[in-house]
């Protein structure tokens, strides 16, 4: 692995190389990467955080693991979803917006997946989604009509993106779109880590009479790489009570309708 560049290596370049290294060696440590690239731990951690957000690897304490073949065994261990209780509570509140017979769009995401789990009792729903897991779940467990966006599958996000995905859904009309995002900020709008995912989200917004954004509190007042909408394109934002109250008031002052749900405590987890 004598990949040491003597001088001037761009940050982007380094990130690419980190991904390659992790994929080749299956894992790597922060200190490893520090000496490999002659930068400080803080820089490496920044890189790793960004790369994890974009889905290129999985962070652990002390380093990172490749996420490419992490789940070989049918039932092997996966790290728990963070903020799962918050996401469930948000989904439960979002469910109130859905009526029998509706046509809805579900963006890819863990919160929207939780919402999908609550749709099993509807009889005449039509669901448009770009998420393979949501589509597979609903196909198996519900009576909904399902339309999935086609095209390239984005690795580690089990969703489709790109032109073909957009073409599949762009001429549809839905009553409501339930969106997910990685960052919500009054200044910087609503954002997601990659351009191709942003494209699909933009289209999902266009399809809908009403756009509902589901965002747990950990993503409030944050922004990631690509902005795909401004807050005034959102008809309703649902978040959990962990969100900063002043920030919610601030958003409301900007004209955003915000609903806050209470997280149900769960002992068993």
Partner DNA sequence: TAATAAATGATAAAAAACGATGGTTCATTT
Partner DNA sequence: AAATGAACCATCGTTTTTTATCATTTATTA
Residue ranges binding its own copies (CB under 8 A): 1, 3, 8, 10-13, 15-16, 18-20, 23, 26-27, 29, 51, 53-54, 56, 58, 60-63, 65, 68-77, 79-80, 120, 132-133, 135-136, 139-143, 145-153, 155-156, 158, 160, 164-165, 167-169, 268-269
Shortest CB 133 distance to DNA, Å: 26
CA gap 119, 195 in Å, rounded: 30
Q: Is 38 in the site for DNA (CB under 7 A)?
A: yes
User: Which of 50, 235 has the CB closer to DNA?
Assistant: 50
Site for DNA in 210-269 (CB under 7 A): none
195 is in the binding site of which of its own copies, DNA, none (Cβ under 5 to 8 A by kind)?
none
Please name every residue paired with 44 in a beta bridge, in sequence order, or none if there are none: none
Question: Which of 53, 51, 57, 59 is closest to 69 using CA atoms?
Answer: 57
Please name every residue paired with 10 in a beta bridge, in sequence order, or none if there are none: none
132 φ, ψ (degrees, to nearest 5): -65, -40
Among 20, 62, 155, 164, indicate the residue that binds DNA (CB under 7 A): 62
CA gap 10, 26 in Å, rounded: 24
Contact 113, 137 (CB under 8 A): yes
41 is in the binding site of which of DNA, its own copies, none (Cβ under 5 to 8 A by kind)?
DNA
User: Which of 59, 92 has the CB closer to its own copies?
Assistant: 59
- Residue 109, token pair as written in the block: 């995401």
Question: Which of 132, 145, 217, 129 is closest to 179 using CA atoms?
Answer: 129
* Ramachandran sector of residue 69 (left: φ over 0; alpha: ψ -120 to 50; beta: rest): alpha
Q: Is 43 in the site for DNA (CB under 7 A)?
A: yes
Q: Which positions touch DNA (CB under 7 A)?
A: 8-12, 14, 29-31, 38-43, 45-47, 49, 59-63
């Amino acid at each position: 692995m004598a990949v040491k560049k003597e001088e001037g290596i761009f940050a982007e370049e380094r990130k690419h190389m980190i991904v390659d290294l992790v994929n080749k060696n299956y894992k790597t440590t922060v200190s490893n990467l520090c000496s490999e690239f002659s930068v400080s731990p803080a820089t490496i951690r920044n890189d790793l955080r960004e790369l994890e957000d974009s889905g290129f690897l999985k962070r652990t304490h002390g380093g990172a693991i490749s996420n490419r073949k992490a789940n070989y065994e049918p039932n092997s261990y996966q790290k728990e979803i963070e903020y799962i209780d918050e996401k469930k509570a948000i989904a439960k509140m979002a469910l109130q917006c859905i009526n029998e017979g509706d046509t809805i769009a579900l963006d890819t995401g863990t919160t929207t997946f939780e919402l999908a789990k609550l749709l099993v009792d509807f009889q005449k729903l039509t669901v448009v989604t770009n998420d393979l897991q949501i589509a597979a779940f609903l196909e198996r467990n519900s009576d909904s009509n399902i339309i999935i966006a086609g095209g390239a599958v984005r690795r580690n996000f089990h969703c489709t993106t790109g032109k073909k995905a957009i073409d599949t859904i762009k001429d549809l009309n839905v009553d409501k779109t339930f969106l997910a995002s990685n960052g919500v900020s009054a200044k910087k709008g609503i954002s997601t880590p990659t351009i191709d995912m942003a494209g699909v989200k933009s289209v999902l917004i266009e399809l809908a009479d009403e756009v509902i954004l589901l965002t747990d509190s950990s993503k409030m007042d944050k922004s990631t790489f690509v902005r795909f909408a401004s807050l005034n394109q959102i008809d309703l934002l649902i978040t959990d009570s962990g969100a900063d109250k002043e920030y919610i008031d601030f958003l409301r002052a900007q004209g955003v309708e915000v609903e806050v749900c209470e997280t149900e405590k769960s002992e068993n987890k």
